[in-house]
């Protein structure tokens, strides 16, 4: 069942990783259900020393793994089961915290094959898997798939708010805003981003799942050497070294990253192209800790990790036309078809959903511009009485 692939044995850790290892030539995929005729199990939960037992679907799963333990386990699996591919079920295996794991897996096996492309992991992904299994397997409903699109509409499946409703809600919250045309939303926002401002961006239907994909996002200029630190310290109120992900035009992804495939749900990790990287000087190589982390490593330092990797989101005109238009206009202004994209929330709070949520979060951090639908709000124009101090409200992660 699809549910088993997403949420094996009823256990799932939100930052978990699942790999399904099958003997080459003995697996097939039908109706998003992988029928493995020979599958081995590698460990359970966080116990990477667990048994390896032929004949059962299994996984390596856990919040964080020690790379030194993962690599031998994978090689042992390869040795016991023969020439293997890794079949990847849904999950956070391509999370920014999982890029090292992904590279280790690539070293251990020939190829990583996505069993399915349900771009929602965690409990929400388990619910989708269970629904798909019931719909197709138990009820026998036809699966209308064309082999190219996942029919999830870019995961933009949550609540949306009409323009009149947005204006009413913002007024009731005490917000001061201007209402502009569709073209001006794109033009003014792109100008602010190119000028180095952090922008709160709430548009259309909310994302389903754990990623901000351009509907409830905080955006920034990835070319800035200070944007990562700024967003962490002044917007998220967390450690300055935390990484951010790039949102890149699908048609430009190969120009910036060693990747030329769709990654609409921000699940694939790829290295920044070599010609976009910046080589550290001898002095910089001698730095240690945060000082070394703060060294710019590419033309887009705000989204480049210390190993030159990034967790990439490709933005498609057909699924998110307004976000695609914004990045396209930013590219026209700067030559860069990439934006920093992180979830619209502060540390320890959920992502915003409603216009009131967006305004409250906006008033609790140092975002300069908030764009909700066609409403634009400047921090300097707001009533200071409504300001919220998030900085010391939550314990550090």
Per-residue pLDDT tens digits for 102-149:
555 555 444 444 444 555 555 666 677 777 778 888 888 887 777 677
CA–CA distance, 132 with 126 (Å, rounded to integer): 10
Q: How many CA atoms lie within 13 A of 264 on its CB side?
A: 24
* Residue 144 CB-density burial (10 A; 0-12 exposed, 13-18 middle, 19+ buried): exposed
Per-residue pLDDT tens digits for 64-91:
333 444 455 555 555 555 544 444 444 4
The residues spanned by each domain of the chain are 2-138, 155-386
CA–CA distance, 165 with 185 (Å, rounded to integer): 18
Per-residue pLDDT tens digits for 8-35:
333 322 223 333 333 333 232 222 223 2
Q: Report how far apart, in Å, the C-alpha atoms of 391 and of each of 44, 231, 236, 302, 384 are.
A: 38, 13, 9, 22, 16
Per-residue pLDDT tens digits for 187-233:
999 999 999 999 999 999 999 877 899 999 999 999 999 898 888 88
3-state secondary structure of 207: strand
Q: What is the pLDDT of residue 124?
A: 65
**The pair of three-digit structure tokens given for residue 155, joined into one six-digit string:** 């995961």
Domain 155-386 is of which CATH architecture? Alpha-Beta Complex (3.90)
Compute the mean pLDDT over every residue in the chain, rounded to the nearest whole number.
Answer: 74
What would the mean pLDDT of 278-302 be, rounded to a whole number?
Answer: 84
Q: What is the pLDDT of residue 364?
A: 92
211 closest CA partner among 14, 13, 69: 14
- Structure pTM? 0.74
3-state secondary structure of 86: strand
What would the mean pLDDT of 334-360 be, rounded to a whole number?
Answer: 94
Residue with tokens 């078809």, as numbered in its chain? 337
Residue with tokens 């709160």, as numbered in its chain? 200
């Amino acid at each position: 069942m699809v549910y088993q692939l997403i949420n094996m044995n009823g256990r799932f850790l939100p930052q978990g990783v699942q790999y399904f290892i099958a003997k080459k030539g003995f697996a097939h995929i039908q109706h998003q259900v992988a029928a493995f005729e020979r599958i081995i199990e590698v460990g359970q939960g966080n116990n990477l020393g667990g048994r390896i037992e032929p004949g059962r679907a299994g996984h390596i799963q856990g919040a964080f793994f020690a790379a030194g333990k993962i690599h031998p386990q994978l090689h042992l699996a390869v040795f016991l089961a023969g020439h293997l591919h890794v079949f990847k079920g849904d999950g956070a295996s391509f999370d920014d915290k999982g890029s090292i794991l992904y590279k280790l897996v690539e070293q251990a096996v020939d190829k990583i094959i996505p069993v399915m492309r349900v771009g929602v992991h965690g409990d929400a992904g388990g619910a989708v898997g269970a629904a798909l299994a019931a719909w197709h397997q138990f009820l026998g409903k036809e699966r209308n798939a064309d082999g190219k699109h996942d029919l999830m509409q870019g995961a933009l499946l949550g609540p949306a708010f009409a323009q009149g409703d947005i204006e009413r809600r913002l007024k009731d919250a005490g917000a001061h805003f201007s209402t502009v045309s569709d073209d001006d939303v794109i033009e003014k926002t792109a100008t602010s981003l190119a000028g180095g401002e952090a922008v709160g961006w709430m548009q259309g239907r909310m994302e389903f799942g754990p990623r901000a994909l351009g509907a409830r996002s905080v955006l920034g200029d990835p070319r800035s050497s200070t944007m990562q630190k700024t967003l962490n310290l002044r917007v998220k109120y967390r450690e300055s070294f935390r990484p951010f992900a790039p949102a890149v035009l699908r048609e430009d992804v190969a120009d910036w990253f060693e990747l030329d495939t769709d990654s609409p749900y921000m699940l694939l990790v790829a290295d920044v192209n070599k010609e976009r990287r910046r080589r550290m000087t001898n002095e910089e190589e001698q730095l240690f800790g945060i000082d070394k982390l703060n060294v710019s490593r590419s033309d887009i330092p705000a989204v480049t990790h210390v190993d030159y990797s990034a967790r990439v989101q490709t933005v498609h005109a057909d699924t998110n036309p307004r976000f695609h238009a914004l990045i396209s206009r930013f590219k026209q202004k700067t030559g860069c078809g990439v934006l920093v994209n992180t979830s619209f929330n502060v540390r320890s709070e959920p992502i915003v959903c409603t216009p009131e949520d967006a305004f409250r979060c906006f008033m609790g951090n140092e975002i300069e511009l908030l764009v909700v639908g066609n409403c634009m709000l400047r921090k300097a124009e707001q009533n200071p009485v409504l300001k919220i101090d998030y900085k010391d409200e939550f314990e550090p992660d």
